[in-house]
Structure 1
């Protein structure tokens, strides 16, 4: 969810595709649960008629479902609408992929920083949650300590997005860049690129101008902290920040400050030992791109400027 990944060299407009302004019709509620319960099934298809069914591992075909770990509180990428249904860019793309593969794509709610652990434990088959593909995650390296903490995962990339800072509307505290955060407090989601960037910036701050970083279980909690005045700024992926600016308080709560940074691919995380499933997912993403449905999904959620022409495996740096 918040360009979720490890730090790369910050570059304000280095991205090849900057995710565009959110253009979602209607006022969808930014609601989500932090529990680990299963949510409504998303996507289905008959394996006998699905064009890519034979690419799946036999065990997945037999189950007829791909279990997806996702932090479902990250609108507009994945969240719950006012009826409690799981909606957003990732669920829509997952459903389209499920039709190609002939299986249901079942999104299960979990905290973001536990999703990769969930893959390792067998709780989930994959993780799809606005997760940034980067070398640290590919190799199982903790970005803060640089130590090996797991076997890592492979990624099937499907979108490009950057990271943004936003503040209360009309109360920017003079913040336009990450260096302006010294002496201030920022709220963000734990385990994200935003947290990596904030921690790195905090090390650069001069004596007497400490940057306080408050990390929460999900992005909604960070937004609430900023809205209440408990923080000077918040940070998340640009699509999420733009959606919050557009919808929170009818557009009266927040504003984006400065330029987005850390352009990187979103990837579907798959266990290193599950290469057949990985390759099937890549084929499904490419089929959805080729069919034109991919572009329609991105346009629906205002993310069309982050479109990729073809899915890559482990394209993150």
Structure 2
């Protein structure tokens, strides 16, 4: 979920640049409280800390606990969502599981609304946030994208993918929308706290008098899709992989269609407290290890995200 103009921009992040067909089914600086209920599924396996190759890179408290608590908006297919049995699945959980084998710990995903994930991280409720989160300077520095003012402690990111933002409409009912400027005079659904919301607010300021862009923000992307499906808005916006998944799978592919190009290509990052540099560096080492051994490529291909692949992870690569 991209956020702020420094991250989700034009003709690129376009939350996996031109990612092909996205497989099957079916979210920050802002604060807020959401469902922070711990998901009961332990979504990623791990090797024993005594045998895992990178276990010694972790902070001792994490090694002793044997787990990393992950804050995530688990309603953002195909990046993270619950399958029919209630198990947490998707791109992020599988990448985390592969990293867990390298580090000798389990990544436990805990559900929360996207705009509250960094709050949960700062409060110590979670060790990291991994939720299709766009790495950008605002989030790194704790700056509110609307006011430009510092509102909290920033975070560090371990970047692992490139993605963009897309607009989609009801199938066969585009209302002439092909670009963001075409949204003036229309209603747009977005997920709260995301780059899509930031872009929509920026675009709304450009609209001429009498052609107001109305932005409706929801707690999760599923609510945005429901609003569009019912005809309550003219279009919706989300990260490209998520929009493409919805287009392919909602109503058997009969509900939605993508319009225009992706914009704001930027990296997805795992958010870590700036105080936890050892954990940050351990995560980077684990991500680089699975990129090198091929697990990363296999997982991205499974979820249709291969076009957003990176050759190595980076720390705070977002602009």
Q: Same fold (TM over 0.5)?
A: yes
Q: Which consecutive unaligned segments of at least 5 residues does structure 1 have?
A: none
Counterparts of 2:254 and 2:211 in 1: how far apart (Å)? 29
Aligned residue in 2 for 1:20 = 19
Aligned residue in 1 for 2:38 = 38
CA-based RMSD: 1.2
For residues 29-71 of structure 1, give each alpha carbon's deviation from its aligned partner in whole angstroms, at most 9, with x where no partner exists.
x3xxx73211111222200000000000000000000000000
1:307 Cα offset (Å): 0.1
Aligned residue in 1 for 2:10 = 11
For residues 126-154 of structure 1, give each alpha carbon's deviation from its aligned partner in whole angstroms, at most 9, with x where no partner exists.
00000000000000000001110111000
Counterparts of 1:239 and 1:69 in 2: how far apart (Å)? 20
1:14 Cα offset (Å): 7.8
Confirm or deny: 8 A CA contact 1:182 1:209 kept in the other structure: yes
Confirm or deny: 8 A CA contact 1:298 1:307 kept in the other structure: yes
Q: How does 1:77-92 map to 2 (within 5 A)?
A: 77-92=79-94
Q: How does 1:98-117 map to 2 (within 5 A)?
A: 98-117=100-119
Q: How many pairs does the alignment contain?
A: 308
Match among 112, 121, 124 for residue 122 of structure 1: 124
Q: How does 1:1-317 map to 2 (within 5 A)?
A: 1=1, 4-8=2-6, 10-13=9-12, 18-24=17-23, 27-28=24-25, 30=26, 35-39=35-39, 40-43=41-44, 44-317=46-319
Counterparts of 2:22 and 2:12 in 1: how far apart (Å)? 22
Counterparts of 2:152 and 2:100 in 1: how far apart (Å)? 29
Confirm or deny: 8 A CA contact 1:182 1:202 kept in the other structure: yes
Confirm or deny: 8 A CA contact 2:190 2:197 kept in the other structure: yes
Q: Which consecutive unaligned segments of at least 5 residues does structure 2 have?
A: 27-33
Confirm or deny: 8 A CA contact 2:52 2:102 kept in the other structure: yes
Counterparts of 2:155 and 2:213 in 1: how far apart (Å)? 32
Counterparts of 2:197 and 2:17 in 1: how far apart (Å)? 21
For residues 105-146 of structure 1, give each alpha carbon's deviation from its aligned partner in whole angstroms, at most 9, with x where no partner exists.
000000000000001100000000000000000000000011
Counterparts of 2:225 and 2:99 in 1: how far apart (Å)? 31
Confirm or deny: 8 A CA contact 2:13 2:240 kept in the other structure: no
For residues 74-121 of structure 1, give each alpha carbon's deviation from its aligned partner in whole angstroms, at most 9, with x where no partner exists.
000000000000000000000000000000000000000000000110
